[in-house]
Amino acid sequence: MKILVALKQVPDTETRIKVAADGKSIDPADVKWITSPYDEYALEEAIRLKESKGAEVTVVSLGGDSVKDVLRNALALGADTAVLLKSDASDPLAIASALAAWAKDKGFDLIMAGNKGIGGDNASVGPMLAELLGIAQANVVVKLEIGDGTFRAEREIEGGTEVIEGKLPAVITAQKGLNEPRYASLKGIMGAKKKTIEEIDGAAPAGSTSVVGMVMPPARPEGRKLDGEPAQQAAALLNALKDEAKIF
Amino acid sequence: MILVFCELKDGKLRKPSAEALSEGRRLADASGKSLGALFVGASNAGAADAANYGADLVLTCEASHLASYSSDAFASAISDAVKTKGATVLLGGATAMGKDALPRAAARLGAGYAGDVTGLSMVDGKLQAVRPVYAGKAFATTAFSSNVQVATTRPNVFTATEKSGPGVMEALPAPAGDFKAIVKEILAKGTGKADLTEANIIVSGGRGMKNGENFAILEALADALGGVVGASRAAVDAGWGISHGMQVGQTGKVVSPTLYIACGISGAIQHIAGMSGSKYIVAINKDPEAPIFKLASYGIVGDLFEVVPELTRAAKAMGIGQH
C-alpha cells in the first residue's frame, strides 16, 4: 500500500497572533512554527498502518525551505520519503490543485491529512483534493479501518459519529481522537538527518480567493466582578444575565 | 442567483440552513439577485419551509439512492444545480455535511471557497467574506476572483429571519448512484442535546474541575439553563474520560454561543481562540489573576464547587430554562 500524508507548517497554537504591516497577513516575528496538530494524527495513522499492514509512507508539504523542518520531523517519526513541493500557493483550491497535479500519477492508495490546518481554518484542501483526483473522501475521522481496497471511517458529526464506507483510493482527514501520536526516537531523529528531501517545483495554479485584509478581533466590552458569598454571587449573576444581557 | 444548500432533520429545516437562507436573502436583495434553496435526499418533505426564509425558488434533488449522505453524490447534485441555474453564489451552513460537501462542490466548479464565515457582503457583484482565522485570533477578509463563489456560514452567527418568499418548487434530476463512499450508519451519542457549535448556552470545565466525575455539577447547571457542556484542552488531555468532541479551543470546536460559562478554566491562548466569539462570557475561577477574567462579561472569583451548585439551585428557583 502506498500512503501519502500532506503536512502543513503552522504557528504554534500558544502563539499570540499579530497582524503584519501589510494589513493582510500575520507578522512572522516571534512565531514558533510547528506541524499542524491535526496533521500529526494523520501521520501517526499512516505510520501505524505501515507497521500493521506494511506500507510505504510519503510525506509532502507545500511551501518554501522553512517547511523542511516539518518534513524532517515526519521522517524522524517513520515516514519513508519526503517531498517538498516548492510553491507559494496559499488559496485552498490552488494548494489542492498543486497537490493533485503532483500526486495524480503516483498511485497512492490512501491520502491522509489533518481535517484542517491551524491558521486558514477553511478545512477545504482535503475534500478539494479528493474531488480533483476523482476519489472518495471521509473528513474529521476519529476511527479508520482499511480493508482490501476499501475503507471504513467513523467521522464526527453533530451529536455523534457517522460511519462511512468507501473504495480506495481515498482522502481521509484526521480529527483529534483518531490516535495518540508518538514522539520521535533518537534513532529516528539521527536517521532522518541522513535522508534527503526531494524538492520539486510545484505547479502554481492561480488562486480563486485572496485575503485582502486582516484585523485583530474587536476588543471585548469591559466586564465586572460579582462579589459576596457564593449564593449572593450566583443570584447576582443570574439577575445580570436576565436583566442586563436579557438571555433568559 | 444565490443558491443555498439546505439540510432537513426529521422533516424540518435545520437552523444553520435557515440562517444561511436569511443571509442569502439579504445578499440577494442587496445585489438584485434571486434566492434559490436546494435540498438533496430521498425525501425532501419540509423543503417548502425555505420559502419562509425568503426563497424565490425551492429546488429538490430526490432519489432513493440519496437517502444516505455521500460526499461525491451530494457534491455532484450541488454543482449540477449551480450550473443548471447559473448561480454565481453558493452558500450553506458550516455543518458537518456543509463543510464536507461544499468544498468538494467548489473544486468541481473551479470555484473559490471560504469556510465558516461570520460576515458576507457583495462587492462589485462578487461575494466578499469575513472569517475568523487562527481560530479567531484574527479576522480575515476574503475576496473571490472565480465566477462562482462558495461559502459556508458559521452556525449561531447569522440571524434566521422569517420573510415570506414565493418558494416556487422545482425538481432537478438526481446524480447516478455509483458512489465512491457513502454513510452506512449513524452512531448517535443519544443525548438529544444541541451540538457545541450550535448551542446557545455552554457550560465549560477546565483543569480546575480536578476529575471527570466532577463534570456532573456542570451537567446539572447546563440542564438547568438549557445548555450543553464543553471542556478545555487541559481537561480533555488529563485522561479524565472527557471526550475530545467536547473540547473547545483552537484544536477543538470553535463556538459562538450567547452565553459561555467557563468554570475552572484559566484562559490559555488556544482556549480563548475557540470561545472569544461568545456574546457573554462568565468566568468562575479561584485565581483572581486568571487571564480568562480579562474577557469575562461577569467574573466570579470563588470556588466553583460552591458557586456552580448555587447557580443550579438559583436557576431552578427562578424557573430559568423552563420555557
A30 in reach of chain B (CB within 8 A)? no
* CATH code of the domain covering residue A48: 3.40.50.620
Of the candidates A148, A105, A125, the one whose C-alpha atom is nearest the C-alpha of residue B103 is A125
Shared domain check, B276 and B150: no
Q: What is the pLDDT of residues B131-172, one digit of tens each?
A: 999 989 999 999 999 999 999 999 999 999 999 999 999 999
* CATH code of the domain covering residue B225: 3.40.50.1220
- In a domain, residue A212? The reply is no
- In a domain, residue B191? The reply is no
Q: What is the mean pLDDT of residues B64-90?
A: 97
- B67 near B185, Cβ under 8 Å? no
Shared domain check, B250 and B125: no
Banded pLDDT at B188 (limits 50, 70, 90): confident
- B157 near B272, Cβ under 8 Å? no
| CB-CB neighbors (< 8 A) of B115 in chain A | 121-124
Residue B60 grid coordinates? 429538490
Does the structure show a pLDDT above 70 at B245?
Answer: yes
A41 in reach of chain B (CB within 8 A)? no
Chain B: residue nearest A121 by CA?
B133
A138·B181 Cβ contact <8 A: yes
A19·B138 Cβ contact <8 A: yes
* CATH code of the domain covering residue B55: 3.40.50.620
Shared domain check, A134 and A18: yes
- In a domain, residue A208? The reply is no
Of the candidates A84, A86, A8, A72, the one whose C-alpha atom is nearest the C-alpha of residue A40 is A8
Shared domain check, A142 and A95: yes
Shared domain check, A163 and A82: yes
Shared domain check, B132 and B14: yes
A170·B181 Cβ contact <8 A: yes
Shared domain check, B152 and B59: yes
Of B132, B315, B318, Cβ closest to residue A121: B132
Does the structure show a pLDDT above 80 at B192?
Answer: no
- In a domain, residue B111? The reply is yes
- Residue B189 has a pLDDT of 67
| CB-CB neighbors (< 8 A) of A248 in chain B | 318, 320-321
Shared domain check, A192 and A247: no
A137·B181 Cβ contact <8 A: yes
Give every CB contact of residue A144 below 8 A, 6+ residues apart in sequence. A45, A138, A151, A152, A153, A154, A172, A178
Interface test with A, best of B134, B187, B282, B284 (most A CBs within 10 A): B134
Shared domain check, B58 and B138: yes
B268·A124 Cβ contact <8 A: no
- A118 near B161, Cβ under 8 Å? no
Shared domain check, A124 and A163: yes
Q: How far apart are the first and last CA of chain B?
A: 39
CA A202/CA B259 separation, integer angstroms: 46
pTM for this entry? 0.94
Shared domain check, A189 and A110: yes
DSSP string, chain A: -EEEEEE-EEE-TTPPP-B-TTSSSB--TTPPEEE-HHHHHHHHHHHHHHHHH--EEEEEEEESGGGHHHHHHHHHHT-SEEEEEE----SHHHHHHHHHHHHTTS--SEEEEESS-TTT----HHHHHHHHHT-EEEEEEEEEEE-SSEEEEEEEETTEEEEEEEESSEEEEE-TTS--PPPPPHHHHHHHHHSPEEEEE---PPPSEEEEEEEPPPPPPP-EE--SSHHHHHHHHHHHHHHTS---
Chain A: residue nearest B127 by CA?
A209
Does the structure show a pLDDT above 80 at B82?
Answer: yes
A225 in reach of chain B (CB within 8 A)? yes
CA B302/CA B289 separation, integer angstroms: 12
- In a domain, residue A50? The reply is yes
Shared domain check, A228 and A128: no
A54 in reach of chain B (CB within 8 A)? no
Q: What residue type is assigned to position B317 of the chain? A: A
Of B142, B297, B314, Cβ closest to residue A209: B142
Quote the number of domains for chain B.
2
Helix B215-225 × helix B304-318 angle, to 10°: 20
Residue B185 grid coordinates? 450508519
Segment-wise mean pLDDT, segments of 10 residues, chain A, 248 residues: 97 93 95 96 98 97 96 98 94 96 97 95 97 98 97 93 97 96 96 96 87 94 95 96 93
- In a domain, residue A187? The reply is yes
Shared domain check, B8 and B143: yes
Quote the number of domains for chain A.
2
Shortest Cα distance from A190 to chain B (angstroms)? 30
CA B292/CA B266 separation, integer angstroms: 6
- Residue B194 has a pLDDT of 77
| CB-CB neighbors (< 8 A) of A154 in chain B | 187
Of A121, A155, A158, Cβ closest to residue B95: A158
The DSSP code for B53 is B
Shared domain check, A39 and A91: yes
Interface of A with B in 183-212 (CB under 8 A): 206-212
- Residue A204 has a pLDDT of 75
- In a domain, residue B247? The reply is yes
CB pairs under 8 A between A and B: 282
- In a domain, residue B178? The reply is no
Beta bridge partners of B280: B259
Interface test with B, best of A157, A168, A179 (most B CBs within 10 A): A157
Shared domain check, B141 and B228: no
Shared domain check, A169 and A229: no
Cα of B157 vs its chain's centroid, Å: 8
Q: Which domain holds residue B150?
A: 2-172
The pLDDT mean for chain B works out to: 95
Single out the residue in B137, B172, B207 at which a domain terminates. Answer: B172
ipTM of the modeled complex: 0.95
The DSSP H or E segment spanning B57 is strand B57-62
Dihedral over Cα of B297, B298, B302, B305: its sign: negative
Interface test with A, best of B14, B89, B141, B304 (most A CBs within 10 A): B141
- Residue A121 has a pLDDT of 94
The percent of residues above 70 in pLDDT, for chain B, comes to 98
CA A151/CA A133 separation, integer angstroms: 17
- In a domain, residue B177? The reply is no
Shared domain check, A241 and A161: no
Q: What are the E-state strand segments in B118-250?
A: 119-123, 126-133, 138-144, 149-153, 168-172, 181-188, 201-205, 228-231
B137·A17 Cβ contact <8 A: yes
Banded pLDDT at B322 (limits 50, 70, 90): low
Shared domain check, A233 and A167: no
Residue A39 grid coordinates? 496533521
Does the structure show a pLDDT above 50 at B323?
Answer: no
Max CA separation in chain B (angstroms): 62
Q: Which domain holds residue A231?
A: 223-248
Q: What is the mean pLDDT of residues B218-231?
A: 96
Q: What does the angle CA B214 – CA B216 – CA B219 come to, to the nearest 5 degrees?
A: 135
- In a domain, residue B305? The reply is yes
Of B111, B133, B249, Cβ closest to residue A121: B133
- In a domain, residue B131? The reply is yes
Shortest Cα distance from A151 to chain B (angstroms)? 9
- In a domain, residue B21? The reply is yes
Shared domain check, B163 and B232: no
Of the candidates B101, B123, B245, the one whose C-alpha atom is nearest the C-alpha of residue B182 is B101
